């Protein structure tokens, strides 16, 4: 399960929904940005102090024309 977070200002992130896959989450970004494409580039945030690689990959990010987006893995029973 993946979560989409959106920010249009430096004030903070807003939760925008849960998705079954990174592909589905990315499709939502494409819809919101109204891109005439079927894919986008994502950046990876890596937390260097994390213990394991799966913990180190904090989130995927995309900077669009309308907003900034973060895709992060939803941890079971995550409280957002």
On average, the pLDDT of the chain sits at 88
User: Could you read off the pLDDT of 25-38 as tens digits, one per residue?
Assistant: 999 999 999 999 99
In this prediction, residue 77 carries a pLDDT of: 57
Strands 43-46 and 57-63: antiparallel
Task: Average the pLDDT over 30-48 and give the result.
Answer: 93
Of 36, 19, 37, 33, which is closest to residue 74 (Cα–Cα)? 19
Task: Average the pLDDT over 58-63 and give the result.
Answer: 90
pTM for the model: 0.82
The ranges assigned to domains in the chain are 2-73
């Amino acid at each position: 399960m993946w979560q989409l977070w959106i920010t249009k200002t430096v004030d903070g992130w807003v939760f925008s929904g849960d998705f079954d896959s990174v592909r589905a989450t990315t499709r939502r970004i494409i819809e919101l940005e109204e891109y005439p494409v079927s894919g986008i580039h994502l950046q990876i945030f890596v937390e260097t102090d994390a213990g394991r690689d799966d913990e180190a990959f904090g989130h995927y990010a995309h900077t669009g024309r309308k907003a900034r987006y973060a895709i992060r893995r939803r941890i079971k029973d995550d409280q957002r």
